[in-house]
Every structure is written in C-alpha cells, then in structure tokens.
Amino acid sequence: MSIVALRNITKAYGSRPPALRDVTLEIQPGVTGLLGPNGAGKSTLIQCVLGLLPDFEGDVSVLGLDARRQRREVRRRVGFMPESDTYLYEMTGIRAVRLLGQLTGMPRSEALRRAHEMLHHVGLGEAVYRDVKEYSTGMRQRFKLAQALVHDPEVVFLDEPLAGLDPQARDELLKLIRDLAVDHGKHVIWSSHILPDVQKVADSVVVLHHGRFHGTFRLEDLAQRTGVFHVEAEGELEKFEQALIASDVAVLGVDEVERRETVDGTLADDRRGWTVEVPEGQGPSRLFHIAADTGVRVRKLNQVAEDLEDVFLRILGEAAVEGAAEGAAEGAD
Ligand code: ADP
C-alpha cells in the first residue's frame, strides 16, 4: 500500500499561478525525497497532506486516511518537521516538545516521558531545561525533529531539514534521519532542493517543478543509467547531427566545432563532439550505425558516467522546456 496518495491536486494562493497543478502521485514505503527547486510546490504539497491547507482541489490520503476528513487521526500517526521555526520562544526544550505531544493527543505524563526520550535521542539530553531561544541552529533543527517524533508517528515529513546547517551539524542530522528509517522503521518524506543530500538516504525521489509532478525515480535505477556517451566525429557533421536528432537517440549536449591543422599545415576535417543518450537496451553500436549511414568517421567514443545530479538537472531542464512550451501555448490561446 502506498503511504501517501494524491489525486488531481491543484492549489493556488489567491490569483497567482497555481503552486500545485493537477498533481497525481503515490509515495511508497521507505525514504522518499521530495525534490525540486525553491518554489516548486514542495511545502504546499506537504501542507495539503497534513490537512493544513483546507482549500485545495483534489483528494489526498495518507496511510489510507482522508487528509481532510480525518485530520485528527492523521496528526496522531504523522510527524512533521517544518522548515521554519515554529515554537514558543520562552519555553524550555522539554516543555515545548511535551506540548507538541499533548497536541497530538498524548496524555501529559506520557508526553513528558516521550519528550525526554526524544530529546535524548537527538542529542539534546544536556539541554532539555534550557530555553529553546538559546539553542544554536543545529540544536534547533534537532529539537524540531524531536517534536516531530514525540508521538512515535509512522510517517515523518521533513521540510528542508538540513537548511542552514554547517557540515558537522548536517552529518549529525543525516545520521538521525537514516536511523529513523533503518532502525525504527519509519517512513520518511524529505523535501529538499539538493539531490546529493537526499541521495545519501533516500530510496527514491519524487520530482516537482513549477507545481507539476515530473515522475518518481528509484535512486538505484538512476544510478544505473549507463546509456550516455560522448561521441566525437569528423566529416559530414551537419548531416550526422540531423540524423542524431531525427533518431531515437537523445542529444544532451553539443560541443564547439574544433578546426584542426594537420602536420603539413593544411586544414583537417572539422571535428565535433556530442553528448547523447541511446535508448535503454541499446549500446554504442547505435551511434556507429548512424555514423556509417551519414558518412562521418567516429574518432572517439566514451561512455559518460553521469552523476545523479546531472540526471536530476536534466529532468528539470526537460521539465523547464516543456513548461515554457506550455506557457507559450497558453499565452497563444
Ligand atoms: P517549495 O517548498 O518547493 O519552495 P512552496 O510550496 O513554498 O515551494 O511554494 C510554491 C509557490 O507558492 C511559490 O511560488 C510560492 O511563492 C507560493 N506560495 C507558497 N506559500 C504561499 C502563501 N502562503 N501565499 C502566497 N503564495 C505562496
């Protein structure tokens, strides 16, 4: 069963373009990165799921519960670590976490016991009686995590949890997040605009851009994409390029033309390189065939080890091009 299911979610703030546009997606158990640049709609999506934004179109369920009609039950079974600081400043850490426990329906004594346990768990055992306003940024992020976990939820939403942290604080929090999933069996949905952060822990990523859903990708599948090559050729460069574009090979990048002199000072044929992706299941022979058909000589062919960040940026790049085309079409209507 999916942990979260969204069906045709649209949310606009006032008359601005919608922050979410007809989003339909499912999030599976495990750790999921909710990935997209700032303004993509990640926080809005989380708030819809948590029932914090009642006025949106579409249906949302979390753990099989209706996010609108079963908000109390959702709150009991789901934890949330918001991006911004949301606590009462004049409170000690222990009181603030206990209060959150009570707000999710826990009896006071149980909430107090769990608040101690969670603050210890996140490494704030020594600071439980200090005012939250005295905490450093790193301590505050861990404190917010304790708040999110106090009622032992099954699903935890983390909104940009590593934002503003120094490397050591990031590593500490990253370890805590990993432990949540590995040692405590929690389902984690983690919003971020930085793939390498999420990549360290997540099983899959859900990509949002300009309020639209652009697919769910398993990280191990992305890591195994090996169909990207850099091919350099001499001869009928234009013809070769046209043939590549017309084929099922995706052209990801085009280098400058290289004009070279031979040893006797005469001009050699121009050379140019292309970064291309051949369809799954096809190897570099696809490129040799196109070269042979168009009369170019392949001078170099390397497999490109595409890193995940590149894959992600490309997905977003494609999304941006699609979005621009749609925008132009809407404008023309
Ligand atoms: P992300 O979390 O991916 O950065 P958000 O969901 O915060 O994206 O924002 C999506 C879009 O909605 C942005 O254009 C943002 O300016 C707008 N937005 C978010 N919250 C509000 C709000 N309370 N009022 C008006 N616009 C908002």
Condensed to tens digits (0 to 9), the pLDDT of residues 162-206 reads 988 888 889 889 999 999 988 889 999 999 988 878 888 899 999
Q: Range with the lowest mean pLDDT among 9-18, 72-81, 224-233, 244-253?
A: 224-233
Contact yes or no for 233/271 (Cβ under 8 A): yes
Q: Which of 67-71, 281-285, 326-330 has the lowest mean pLDDT?
A: 326-330
Which of 21, 34, 44, 56 to probe ligand 1 with, by most ligand atoms within 8 A of CB? 44
Phi-psi region of 107 (alpha: psi -120 to 50; beta: other; left: phi over 0): beta
pLDDT band (50, 70, 90) for residue 56: very high
pLDDT at 193: 86
Residues with CB under 6 A from ligand 1: 13, 16, 19, 36, 38-44
| CB-based contact 119:97 (threshold 8 Å) | yes
Residues in the chain: 333
Say what the pLDDT of residue 58 is: 96
Residue 118 — very low, low, confident or very high, per pLDDT cuts 50/70/90?
Answer: very high
Residue 44 Cα, ligand 1 centroid: separation in angstroms? Answer: 6
Q: What is the pLDDT of residue 89?
A: 66
How many C-beta atoms lie closer than 10 Å to residue 266's C-beta?
7
Q: Determine the atom of ligand 1 nearest the C-alpha atom of 40.
A: 3
| C-alpha count within 13 angstroms, C-beta hemisphere, residue 137 | 12
**H/E segment holding residue 327:** helix 308-332
Distance CA 155, CA 106 (A): 17
Q: Report, in this order, helix, strand and coil percent for the chain, each rounded to 5.
A: 40, 25, 35
Q: Residue whose CA is closest, atom 19 of ligand 1? A: 44
Query: What single-letter DSSP state applies at residue 193?
Result: S
Distance from residue 288's CA to the centre of ligand 1 (Å): 48
Residue 99 DSSP one-character state = H
The residue nearest atom 7 of ligand 1, judged by CA position, is 43
- pLDDT at residue number 316: 66
pLDDT for residue 46: 95
Say whether 2 sits in a helix, a strand or coil: coil
- Pairing type for strands 212-218 and 204-209 reads antiparallel
Whether residue 158 has pLDDT greater than 70:
yes
For the whole model, what pTM was predicted?
Answer: 0.76
The CATH class, in words, for 228-303 is: alpha beta
Is the pLDDT at 155 greater than 80, yes or no?
A: yes
Give the CA count within 13 Å in the CB-facing half-sphere of 108: 1
Q: What is the pLDDT of residue 20?
A: 97
**271-277 and 228-234 as β-strands: parallel, antiparallel, unpaired?**
antiparallel
CA 39 to ligand 1 centroid distance, Å: 6
As a whole number, mean pLDDT of residues 11-35 equals 95
**Atom 13 of ligand 1, nearest CA residue:** 39
Average pLDDT, the chain: 88
| Confidence grade of residue 8 (pLDDT, cut at 50, 70, 90) | very high
The helix/strand/coil state of 295 is coil
The reported pLDDT for the residue numbered 322 is 58
In the predicted model, is pLDDT for residue 87 greater than 90? no
Residue closest via CA to ligand 1's atom 25 equals 13
Highest averaged pLDDT of the listed ranges 21-35, 166-180, 309-323: 21-35
Closest residue by Cα to atom 21, ligand 1, is 13
Return d(Cα 257, Cα 239) in angstroms, integer. 14
Q: How far is CA 92 from CA 71, 100, 145, 169, 323, in A?
A: 28, 13, 15, 21, 47
Q: What pLDDT, in 10s, does the model give residues 285-295?
A: 899 999 999 98
* Residue type at 75 in one-letter notation: R
- Which of 20-34, 112-126, 139-153, 300-314 comes out lowest in average pLDDT? 300-314
What's the rounded mean pLDDT across residues 122-151? 94
Q: How far is the CA of 20 from the centre of ligand 1 (A)?
A: 9
With respect to CATH, is domain 4-222 assigned 3.40.50.300? yes
Is residue 281 over pLDDT 70? yes
Phi/psi for 107 (5° steps) reads -60, 155
- When mean pLDDT is compared across 37-46, 146-155, 300-309, the lowest value belongs to 300-309
pLDDT over 90 (residue 79)? yes
- Token duo for residue 270: 């121009």
- Local structure of 74: helix, strand or coil: helix
Token code pair at residue 193: 């605009």
Burial 286-307 (b: 16+ CB within 10 A, else e): bbeebbeebebebeeeeebebe
Asked whether the predicted pLDDT for residue 137 surpasses 80, the reply is yes
Q: How far is the CA of 305 from the centre of ligand 1 (A)?
A: 35
The pLDDT of residue 182: 87
The structural domains of the chain, with segments of one domain joined by +, span: 4-222, 228-303
CA atoms within 13 A of residue 169's CA, in its CB half-sphere:
16
Q: What is the CA radius of gyration of the chain?
A: 25
pLDDT digits (tens, 9 = 90+) for 214-268: 889 888 776 666 688 899 999 889 999 999 999 999 898 898 888 777 777 777 7
Q: How far is the CA of 13 from the centre of ligand 1 (A)?
A: 8
What is the Å distance from ligand 1's center to 26 Cα?
A: 21
Residue 306 confidence class, pLDDT cut points 50, 70, 90: low
